[in-house]
């Protein structure tokens, strides 16, 4: 693995990486990440990646953030009552234990596959005598 330096991250023509590349925090105006678009109430809207940011790291691959054109971004679709209903049903399904069929009050971790009382039936809440 070749180590990437900050100077290697500057490729505005896209010759090296195939897409214009800038160092972390040095993107030109008019480009934004998905999170930055979302903070403005926008979404990429099907456009292709316009550029990328790279941040070199010492022992791992560089961090990459894809940039989109703000001028081509579209407004975020509003949440309709039907979407809110579908979202509530999805969250209810993630909170329902498949073993006891009760609402756990939290999203059940996929690693357990059940609520805590069903996953660990041997553990009781009663204080133990020593």
pLDDT of res. 130: 45
pLDDT of res. 68: 97
Q: Tell me, yes or no, whether 94 lies in a domain.
A: yes
User: What is the pLDDT tens value at each position of the chain, 130 positions in all?
Assistant: 567 776 777 888 888 889 999 998 888 999 999 999 999 999 999 999 999 999 888 888 889 999 999 999 999 999 999 999 999 999 999 999 999 999 999 999 999 999 989 988 887 654 444 4
pLDDT of res. 129: 43
Q: Tell me, yes or no, whether 130 lies in a domain.
A: no
Same domain, 70 and 105: no
- Return the structure tokens found at 61: 């691959």
Q: Of all helices (H) and strands (E), which one includes residue 118?
A: helix 116-119
Q: Tell me, yes or no, whether 63 lies in a domain.
A: yes
| Residues paired with 68 in a beta bridge | 32
Q: Tell me, yes or no, whether 126 lies in a domain.
A: no
Q: How many domains does the chain have?
A: 2
User: What's the rounded Cα separation, in Å, for the pair 53 and 82?
Assistant: 37
Q: Tell me, yes or no, whether 25 lies in a domain.
A: yes
pLDDT of res. 126: 43
Q: Tell me, yes or no, whether 52 lies in a domain.
A: yes
Same domain, 19 and 52: yes
Same domain, 17 and 67: yes
In angstroms, the Cα distances linking 17 to 20, 22, 62 are 7, 11, 13
Same domain, 37 and 97: no
Q: Is residue 117 within 8 Å of 107, Cβ to Cβ?
A: no
Phi, psi of 99 (to 5 degrees): -90, -55
Instruction: Please give the residue range of the domain that contains residue 28.
Output: 7-75
Q: Tell me, yes or no, whether 124 lies in a domain.
A: no
Same domain, 71 and 93: no
Q: Tell me, yes or no, whether 29 lies in a domain.
A: yes
């Amino acid at each position: 693995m070749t180590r990437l330096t900050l100077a290697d991250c500057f490729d505005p023509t896209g010759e090296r990486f195939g897409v214009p590349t800038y160092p972390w925090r040095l993107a030109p105006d008019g480009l934004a990440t998905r999170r930055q678009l979302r903070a403005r109430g926008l979404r990429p809207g099907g456009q292709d990646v316009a550029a990328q940011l790279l941040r070199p790291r010492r022992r791992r691959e560089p961090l990459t953030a894809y940039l989109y054109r703000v001028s081509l971004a579209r407004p975020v679709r509003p949440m309709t009552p039907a979407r809110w209903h579908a979202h509530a049903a999805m969250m209810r399904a993630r909170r329902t234990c498949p073993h006891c069929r009760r609402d756990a009050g939290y999203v059940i971790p996929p690693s357990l596959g059940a609520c805590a009382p069903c996953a660990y039936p041997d553990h009781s809440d009663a204080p133990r005598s020593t």
